[in-house]
Chains A and B, each alone.
Chain A
């Protein structure tokens, strides 16, 4: 059978007369995940999946999603056209831009290379054992063609490692590490193992006793991980769609003060810390690097189009504003320098409940969290079961300084990444 994309390219040039315009977004992901433990593979996963999002305009635009790659594209567009007939609004979502985009980046790894890397990482662990160690390689291709002349194809291949370890001497001590690169040669087994061991050492020091705090306002260093957890959903405050429907704390007015002057936020198609690239958005448009916040002032709202994973398992059909690599830019100081600068206060190293703790419309949050009490710049005792309460706007305004330890996390199904370094914030409310 003819190549799938070719069939859709042919179809948009031979549409039935009632269909005025049509577009297909085709996403193919081929991926292999290996879990390595005790020097060998413990389980694995491999897939090859193609998703077709088809749009057809009669007066309005209707859509169909299908994973049936054998269905005739004209039949798919006709079903989308039928869906459009029910719509009363003259809504049209296809873009007029005529261009052709073609990029190809990265290289996948073989199963043998991945297994060797996993075993090598494990061999570098000292006094720690693997709880879970995943090595993955993936290829993602986005193809878009429409009847207005848009024809784009971008591919990105990458390799990544995610691991959780625990101490062989004290099972309460555990650490995490994530690393990603465009090719397997970009990943250093020793550095990844050291990163996980370093993280474990930072997270739990059992010799410190639990400190009981009274609810109140404290200065706090929020770790890179905690900031990423917050902005995994809080990026929506900067979404143009969200602002448009007044569902955000902020208005889309450039130069509005949205944070302290040390805050700079960007959305980019690629970053050296992540192997995957997003050269085109889900509608085939080139992703342009955007400065969202510059020195605390809103520069422009986030505009990249994508489909965000649904927290219900439903197919994410709606094209909406979704970031690619959204991150708070690094500052110049180390996290240790921020802790020292704070003197007395909290170091928050973990937070729970990524998806229910921030209300985007009001910006209010209640975030379960924990970490350490810092006295005179040193860890004095551990704290747990705290709730950090406040508002995203006030949190951004309260940031005194930003560390240089930028890290990234993927959102579900790898639809986008969110990054942040640790920050020092003044006067945050904690209930204990």
Chain B
């Protein structure tokens, strides 16, 4: 890790050059990945090592990064940055590392990657490989990849903030290749954990892998999804949460608001059905989107975005805070030092309601029940790919469907949620990567089962 002397030099140089604010994000990260397909195909070690420097001159900003950590080169980089910003203010004093908030790690680690051997990792992949191949005859092959990550960061700024954080994640990716009389298909699924190797030792990843194999196999013989407007029931867990992530989550981030997005200036207004209370919380224990601090050194916190249908707050990073005059919400995130931070979601969930889950299906005449989503996109219009769905006819679950693309506008579709279940399902062991301007960040999406009265389903049936 870059030493404090160089961090202090960067901040001092920036403030002496007349910047109104300066921040250093220093990163030293080790990743290990192993590819397995009957035998070990590769072992790779990766070290991400560099520094990101954020300079402000009032509302104007420049983000600089480099892995040339030579003192003179860093000083030069900062001076060039200040020159680009055309700083003219007088040098301001600051107290380096004058405060360091103490926050408990929401994801304590038992087995750090450095104390885990490659033999341990290989044994796990061997076990997964044999279990997967025995699951069904349709499994013709399976590619497995094990990943672990140990990220150490120091975040210091010209307000005197100095925090250190260590984030460990472990993940196993399965890509089964399924082939039977109905055709061939392969796609990936991940089992993710925000802690060490201990997360895979309990074997819970096996049921995730087995389910993904069975889902893929079943999709080959599934009926083509219908098209048209339908009642859609989203199963609790990641389906419900992912809907909100794409339907409104990205529009509540300051990067969208700065451009005048759908929800700017709508605080206090009804933007969803009154059944909807939506939360984003990066401080939740053992969830993939959690950490002690965001990537700007702000403690993670619970943010109530929508309460009983009323828009309450946004997700705000430092730049968004400066440009829009909003309080930071612990949401400034980035993939690594090579990305400027931006307001991003973390663990997004719909809060529980009062409706009976089974009754939702019984009360649906013609609709679809979505139990797995393969991803989607957000914006003014959103889309969600349902990888596992079932038709509902006269209150009964029917055939399995394939190729159902759900689309709509967030501001219209959220008003059509008429039932929210009583049972919260968090995406434990799950999680995925959300890609946006500040790179790929770990997120989870959760919630109880819910019903949308009218949604556009794009299928071929």
Q: Which residues of A contact B (CB under 8 A)?
A: 32, 34, 41-50, 62-70, 79, 83-84, 86-89, 91, 111, 131-132, 171, 215, 246-247, 310-315, 317-318, 352-357, 359, 361-362, 364, 366-368, 370, 384-387, 389-390, 412, 429, 431-432
Contact = CB atoms under 8 A, between A and B. Distances in A.
A70 B376 CA distance: 41
A389 B228 CA distance: 13
18 contacts: A44-B63, A44-B81, A64-B44, A313-B440, A313-B441, A314-B147, A353-B383, A361-B186, A362-B183, A366-B385, A366-B405, A366-B459, A367-B405, A389-B458, A431-B227, A431-B460, A432-B227, A432-B458
Contact of B405 (A48, A312, A357): A357
Nearest to B385: A356
A164 to B, nearest CB: 8
Given A86-B43, A352-B377, A431 B64 contact: no
Given A41-B60, A46-B84, A215-B227, A359 B185 contact: yes
Nearest to B61: A43
A86 B118 contact: yes
Interface in B35-66: 35, 39-50, 59-66
Contacts of B199: none
B39 A89 contact: yes
Contacts of A43: 60-63, 319
B206 interface: no
B68 interface: yes
Contact of A315 (B48, B50, B183, B381): B48
A387 B407 contact: yes
Contacts of A70: 69
A153 to B, nearest CB: 19
Contacts of B403: 364, 366, 389
B80 interface: yes
B395 interface: no
A352 B405 CA distance: 11
Contacts of A83: 43-45
Interface in B258-312: 259-260
Contacts of A429: 460
Interface in B338-377: 338, 340, 374-377
A86 B122 contact: yes
B433 A313 contact: yes
Interface centre among B35, B184, B186, B227 (most CB of A within 10 A): B227
Contacts of B59: 42
B335 A313 contact: yes
B43 A353 contact: no
A310 B190 CA distance: 14
B166 to A, nearest CB: 17
Given A47-B338, A317-B44, A362-B184, A389 B60 contact: no
B49 A66 contact: yes
Interface of B: 31, 33, 35, 39-50, 59-69, 73, 77, 80-81, 83-86, 118, 122, 147, 177, 183-187, 227-228, 259-260, 319, 335-336, 338, 340, 374-377, 379, 381-383, 385, 403-405, 407-409, 433, 435, 439-441, 456-460
A310 B336 CA distance: 14
A127 to B, nearest CB: 17
B19 to A, nearest CB: 13
A89 B41 contact: yes
Contacts of A48: 65-68, 73, 77
B44 A63 contact: yes
B47 A368 contact: no
A45 B375 contact: no
A384 B33 contact: no
Contacts of A359: 185, 187
What 9 A-B pairs are tightest by C-beta distance, nearest first? A387-B458, A431-B227, A313-B440, A368-B383, A356-B375, A65-B46, A366-B405, A83-B43, A431-B458
Nearest to A63: B44
Contacts of A46: 62-64, 77, 80-81, 84
Interface centre among A34, A43, A215, A370 (most CB of B within 10 A): A43
A356 B374 contact: yes
A364 to B, nearest CB: 7
Contact of B67 (A32, A50, A131, A314): A50
A352 B458 contact: no
A50 B460 contact: no
B42 A87 contact: yes
B383 A67 contact: no
A49 B228 contact: no
A47 B46 contact: no
B459 A361 contact: no
Contacts of B65: 47-49
A215 B228 contact: yes
Contact of A132 (B44, B187, B259, B375): B259
B82 to A, nearest CB: 11
Given A50-B68, A79-B45, A431-B460, A315 B31 contact: yes
B65 to A, nearest CB: 5
Given A89-B41, A387-B405, A387-B459, A312 B49 contact: no
Contacts of A390: 460
A274 to B, nearest CB: 22
Contacts of B338: 47, 49
A65 B62 contact: no
Contact of B68 (A42, A69, A91, A356): A69
B336 to A, nearest CB: 7
A247 to B, nearest CB: 7
Contacts of B259: 131-132
A429 to B, nearest CB: 6
